[in-house]
Amino acid sequence: MITDFTDAGTLGTIQAKAADEGSGHQVLTISLFALFVAITLGITIWASRQNRTAADFYAGGRSFTGMQNGFAIGGDYMSAASFLGISAAVMVGGFDGLIYSIGFLVGWPVVTFLLAERLRNLGKFTFADVASYRLQQAPIRMLSAVGTLTVVAFYLIA
Protein backbone atom coordinates (compact mmCIF):
# COMPACT_ATOMS: atom_id res chain seq x y z
CA MET A 1 0.00 0.00 0.00
CA ILE A 2 1.31 3.43 -0.92
CA THR A 3 1.25 5.94 1.92
CA ASP A 4 3.33 8.70 0.36
CA PHE A 5 1.78 10.18 -2.80
CA THR A 6 4.53 12.69 -3.44
CA ASP A 7 5.85 10.81 -6.43
CA ALA A 8 3.06 11.05 -9.03
CA GLY A 9 5.11 9.06 -11.56
CA THR A 10 5.27 6.03 -9.27
CA LEU A 11 1.54 6.16 -8.62
CA GLY A 12 0.81 6.42 -12.34
CA THR A 13 3.06 3.43 -13.03
CA ILE A 14 1.28 1.36 -10.39
CA GLN A 15 -2.14 2.30 -11.78
CA ALA A 16 -1.05 1.47 -15.35
CA LYS A 17 0.31 -1.91 -14.20
CA ALA A 18 -2.96 -2.71 -12.39
CA ALA A 19 -4.94 -1.73 -15.50
CA ASP A 20 -2.79 -4.03 -17.66
CA GLU A 21 -3.34 -6.97 -15.29
CA GLY A 22 -7.10 -6.30 -15.28
CA SER A 23 -7.29 -6.18 -19.08
CA GLY A 24 -5.64 -9.59 -19.29
CA HIS A 25 -8.41 -11.04 -17.16
CA GLN A 26 -11.02 -9.27 -19.28
CA VAL A 27 -9.64 -10.77 -22.47
CA LEU A 28 -9.68 -14.25 -20.94
CA THR A 29 -13.22 -13.79 -19.62
CA ILE A 30 -14.57 -12.49 -22.93
CA SER A 31 -12.78 -15.26 -24.84
CA LEU A 32 -14.24 -17.98 -22.62
CA PHE A 33 -17.71 -16.45 -22.92
CA ALA A 34 -17.40 -16.29 -26.73
CA LEU A 35 -16.24 -19.93 -26.79
CA PHE A 36 -19.22 -20.97 -24.65
CA VAL A 37 -21.64 -19.11 -26.95
CA ALA A 38 -20.05 -20.65 -30.05
CA ILE A 39 -20.28 -24.18 -28.64
CA THR A 40 -23.89 -23.61 -27.59
CA LEU A 41 -24.81 -22.29 -31.05
CA GLY A 42 -23.04 -25.24 -32.68
CA ILE A 43 -25.01 -27.73 -30.60
CA THR A 44 -28.23 -25.84 -31.33
CA ILE A 45 -27.63 -25.86 -35.09
CA TRP A 46 -26.73 -29.57 -35.01
CA ALA A 47 -29.85 -30.41 -32.96
CA SER A 48 -32.13 -28.32 -35.19
CA ARG A 49 -31.06 -30.34 -38.23
CA GLN A 50 -32.11 -33.55 -36.46
CA ASN A 51 -35.73 -32.38 -36.04
CA ARG A 52 -38.25 -32.89 -38.82
CA THR A 53 -41.64 -32.42 -37.09
CA ALA A 54 -43.05 -30.67 -34.03
CA ALA A 55 -43.07 -34.01 -32.22
CA ASP A 56 -39.32 -34.30 -32.81
CA PHE A 57 -38.82 -30.84 -31.37
CA TYR A 58 -40.96 -31.29 -28.27
CA ALA A 59 -40.17 -34.89 -27.45
CA GLY A 60 -36.64 -35.22 -28.81
CA GLY A 61 -37.79 -37.65 -31.48
CA ARG A 62 -38.81 -40.03 -28.68
CA SER A 63 -35.13 -40.96 -28.32
CA PHE A 64 -34.72 -39.82 -24.70
CA THR A 65 -35.23 -42.26 -21.88
CA GLY A 66 -37.40 -41.28 -18.95
CA MET A 67 -34.30 -40.88 -16.78
CA GLN A 68 -32.63 -38.52 -19.27
CA ASN A 69 -35.79 -36.46 -19.62
CA GLY A 70 -36.18 -36.30 -15.83
CA PHE A 71 -32.60 -35.09 -15.40
CA ALA A 72 -33.12 -32.43 -18.09
CA ILE A 73 -36.34 -31.13 -16.54
CA GLY A 74 -34.91 -31.25 -13.02
CA GLY A 75 -31.74 -29.46 -14.08
CA ASP A 76 -33.71 -26.74 -15.81
CA TYR A 77 -35.98 -26.29 -12.83
CA MET A 78 -33.17 -26.21 -10.28
CA SER A 79 -31.12 -23.82 -12.37
CA ALA A 80 -33.92 -21.29 -12.75
CA ALA A 81 -35.01 -21.67 -9.13
CA SER A 82 -31.53 -21.19 -7.73
CA PHE A 83 -30.62 -18.32 -10.02
CA LEU A 84 -33.74 -16.24 -9.73
CA GLY A 85 -35.97 -17.44 -6.96
CA ILE A 86 -33.97 -18.71 -4.06
CA SER A 87 -31.23 -16.10 -4.04
CA ALA A 88 -33.68 -13.20 -4.30
CA ALA A 89 -36.11 -14.67 -1.77
CA VAL A 90 -33.37 -15.29 0.79
CA MET A 91 -31.94 -11.83 0.22
CA VAL A 92 -35.31 -10.15 0.74
CA GLY A 93 -36.92 -12.42 3.31
CA GLY A 94 -34.04 -14.12 5.08
CA PHE A 95 -34.80 -17.62 6.28
CA ASP A 96 -38.48 -17.22 5.36
CA GLY A 97 -37.42 -16.88 1.73
CA LEU A 98 -35.88 -20.33 1.92
CA ILE A 99 -39.26 -21.76 2.92
CA TYR A 100 -40.75 -20.45 -0.34
CA SER A 101 -38.13 -22.28 -2.39
CA ILE A 102 -38.76 -25.54 -0.57
CA GLY A 103 -42.51 -25.14 -1.12
CA PHE A 104 -42.02 -24.79 -4.88
CA LEU A 105 -39.62 -27.71 -4.93
CA VAL A 106 -42.19 -29.93 -3.19
CA GLY A 107 -45.17 -28.64 -5.21
CA TRP A 108 -43.64 -28.91 -8.66
CA PRO A 109 -43.43 -32.75 -8.84
CA VAL A 110 -46.97 -33.07 -7.47
CA VAL A 111 -48.38 -30.85 -10.21
CA THR A 112 -46.26 -32.67 -12.79
CA PHE A 113 -47.58 -36.08 -11.70
CA LEU A 114 -51.16 -34.81 -11.77
CA LEU A 115 -50.94 -33.26 -15.26
CA ALA A 116 -48.35 -35.26 -17.20
CA GLU A 117 -50.49 -38.32 -17.95
CA ARG A 118 -53.48 -36.20 -18.96
CA LEU A 119 -51.35 -34.18 -21.37
CA ARG A 120 -49.93 -37.35 -22.90
CA ASN A 121 -53.36 -38.96 -23.24
CA LEU A 122 -54.70 -35.91 -25.08
CA GLY A 123 -51.71 -35.86 -27.41
CA LYS A 124 -50.94 -32.26 -26.43
CA PHE A 125 -47.54 -30.86 -25.56
CA THR A 126 -48.27 -27.89 -23.29
CA PHE A 127 -50.91 -26.74 -20.87
CA ALA A 128 -51.84 -23.97 -23.35
CA ASP A 129 -52.55 -26.67 -25.97
CA VAL A 130 -54.95 -28.40 -23.59
CA ALA A 131 -56.66 -25.16 -22.53
CA SER A 132 -57.10 -24.03 -26.14
CA TYR A 133 -58.48 -27.47 -27.01
CA ARG A 134 -61.10 -27.16 -24.27
CA LEU A 135 -61.83 -23.40 -24.51
CA GLN A 136 -61.77 -20.72 -27.19
CA GLN A 137 -58.44 -21.02 -28.94
CA ALA A 138 -57.57 -17.38 -29.79
CA PRO A 139 -57.92 -15.83 -26.27
CA ILE A 140 -56.09 -18.74 -24.63
CA ARG A 141 -53.22 -18.55 -27.10
CA MET A 142 -52.98 -14.78 -26.59
CA LEU A 143 -53.01 -15.16 -22.80
CA SER A 144 -50.33 -17.86 -22.88
CA ALA A 145 -48.16 -15.77 -25.20
CA VAL A 146 -48.43 -12.71 -22.94
CA GLY A 147 -47.67 -14.84 -19.88
CA THR A 148 -44.65 -16.42 -21.56
CA LEU A 149 -43.25 -13.06 -22.68
CA THR A 150 -43.74 -11.64 -19.18
CA VAL A 151 -41.80 -14.48 -17.57
CA VAL A 152 -39.06 -14.28 -20.21
CA ALA A 153 -38.74 -10.53 -19.64
CA PHE A 154 -38.05 -11.15 -15.94
CA TYR A 155 -35.41 -13.75 -16.86
CA LEU A 156 -33.74 -11.27 -19.21
CA ILE A 157 -33.80 -8.51 -16.59
CA ALA A 158 -31.99 -10.76 -14.13
Asked whether residue 137 carries a pLDDT value surpassing 80, the answer given is yes
Number of domains in the chain: 1
CB atoms within 10 A of CB 90: 16
Residue 145 lies in a domain: no
110 has a pLDDT exceeding 70: yes
Q: Residue 109: its pLDDT value, please?
A: 80
Structural domain for 7, as ranges: 1-50
Can you tell me the distance from the alpha carbon of 128 to that of 17, in angstroms, rounded to the nearest whole number? 57
In a domain, 149, yes or no: no
Query: Is residue 35, in this structure, part of any structural domain at all?
Result: yes
Q: Would you place residue 34 in the very low, low, confident or very high pLDDT band (cuts 50, 70, 90)?
A: very high
What are the pLDDT digits (tens) for 43-90?
Answer: 888 877 877 777 776 666 677 777 887 788 777 777 666 666 677 777
In a domain, 26, yes or no: yes
Residue 36 covered by a domain: yes
Structural domain contains residue 113 = no
> Quick check: 85 and 100 in contact, CB under 8 A?
yes
Structural domain contains residue 139? no
pTM value is 0.38
State the chain's mean pLDDT as an integer.
76
What would the mean pLDDT of 103-124 be, rounded to a whole number?
Answer: 78
Lowest mean pLDDT among 14-18, 27-31, 52-56, 99-103: 14-18
CA distances from 147 to 93, 126, 129, 157 (A): 26, 13, 14, 16
Establish if 42 belongs to a structural domain: yes
